[in-house]
Amino acid sequence: MMSMFLARGGWLVAILLACTMAGPAPAQTFPSKPLRLVVPFPPGGPSDLTARAIATGMAAALGQPVVVENKPGAGAIVGSEAVLAAPHDGHTLLMGSNVLTTGKWLYPRMSFDPIRDFRAVAGVFRSPHLVVTAPNDKANDIRDVIKFAKSHPGKLDYASSGGGTMPHLGAELFKQVTGTSITSIPYKGSGPALTAVMAGEVQLYFDIQFSAQALVKSGKLKALGVTGRERSPQFPQVPTLIEQGVKDFELYSWFGIVAPSDVPDAVVQRLNDAANQAMETPAFKEQLQALGATSMRGSPQSFHALMERETLMWRDTIKRAGITLD
């Protein structure tokens, strides 16, 4: 009996060893083909430009091409669904944005849950917003804005570049934090919103620095404050909202790479290493400087923590504002 058991045990060990050796660990064989980095926005925007800059560096680190593919539509939902529909092997990635933390609350009937169905791979960059007004506007800083808004409820307008965008949600967060009443005036995109502010049709706009910086530097717009925790290197003379008494107010537009949630840990770490290497290249650093942005270089865990924090923050902000886009 003992000899039979040992014989059977030997076969069992042999089978287990064969199974272990038959399939190399995912990180050892990954990537086995070109990668796709899906950008859920049209070409030419900050996410697209940065995706192309980081894709080059990641391709060099991974030894496989990284092809950027634009799939805009439905507030980034089209591109997100395309990534989830592809094989979950790490070869198809999404250039995610703040939409990953706001979409669940803006689109209650969305077919996926961003935090449940995606996992963080690497934060890429973040950019503060500039609160801008027309050059001849009487307000010279955020204190003037708050003072006027409180003494003239409902008489101050802000431009929105679309429902659920960061300029829209950032202004709503500002209203809630400061206890002011400011009216949203919707425009079809950042370009028309900026034109309206320059013309004095609307008083304020919380625009991502990349979009507004050239107009501020040329004097066509006046910056009243920057929404980061520290002053922007491109506009060291413009104080933060925190400096101007708006306690703990921070607003960033950010972008980072995510993958379907069941992509193996080893593959995610391989991708994270490649992204971090890409962020150290001169080409990527030049792109960030042009965007007025800073790198979010770090671990998947640090990026995941940011996504969780902002998901809760925007849940509360959107609920209080009563915003829904379904």
The answer regarding whether domain 31-126+253-321 maps to CATH 1.20.120.420 reads: no
Q: What is the pLDDT at residue 197?
A: 97
pLDDT for 171 equals 97
Domain ranges of the chain: 31-126+253-321, 128-226
DSSP secondary structure letters along 182-214: EEEEE-SSHHHHHHHHHTTSSSEEEEEHHHHHH
Side chain identity at 120, as an amino acid letter?
A
Per-residue pLDDT at 106 exceeds 80: yes
Q: Where are the alpha helices (DSSP H) in the chain?
A: 2-22, 26-29, 46-62, 77-85, 99-106, 114-117, 142-151, 166-178, 190-198, 209-217, 265-278, 282-291, 300-321
Closest CA to 27 of 264, 277, 300, 275: 264
Mean pLDDT along residues 214-241: 97
Q: Give the pair of three-digit tokens for residue 261.
A: 């949630």
**pLDDT over 80 at 173, yes or no:** yes
Residues 6+ apart with CB under 8 A from 78: 40, 71, 72
The answer to which of 21-25, 48-52, 199-203, 321-325 has the lowest mean pLDDT is: 21-25
What dotted CATH number matches 128-226? 3.40.190.10
Pairing of the two strands 252-260 and 118-133: antiparallel
**Percent of the chain having pLDDT more than 90?**
82
Answer whether residue 88 shows pLDDT above 80.
yes
pLDDT tens digits, 17-75? 444 444 344 567 899 999 999 999 999 888 898 899 899 999 999 999 999 999 999 88
In the three-class reduction of DSSP (H, G, I as helix; E, B as strand; rest coil), residue 221 is classed as coil
Buried/exposed 240-269: b ≥16 CB within 10 Å, e otherwise: bbbebebeebbbbbbbbbbbbeebbeebbe
pLDDT of residue 307: 96
What rounded mean pLDDT belongs to the chain? Answer: 91
Average pLDDT over residues 105-125: 95
Least confident range of 45-49, 96-100, 222-226, 268-272: 45-49
Same fold, 31-126+253-321 and 128-226: yes
Could you tell me which residues are beta bridge partners of residue 95? Answer: 257
Q: How confident is the model at residue 26, as a pLDDT?
A: 59
pLDDT higher for 68 or 9?
Answer: 68
Statement: residue 7 has pLDDT above 60: no
Please name the residue that has the structure tokens 């250039």: 95
Q: What is the rounded average pLDDT of the residues 141-166?
A: 94
pLDDT in tens, 293-304: 999 999 999 999
For residue 11, pLDDT beyond 60: no
Mean pLDDT of 194-213: 96
The share of the chain scoring above pLDDT 70, in percent, equals: 92
Dihedral, 217, 187, 307, 291 alpha carbons, nearest 10: -20
User: Which pLDDT value is given to residue 27?
Assistant: 62
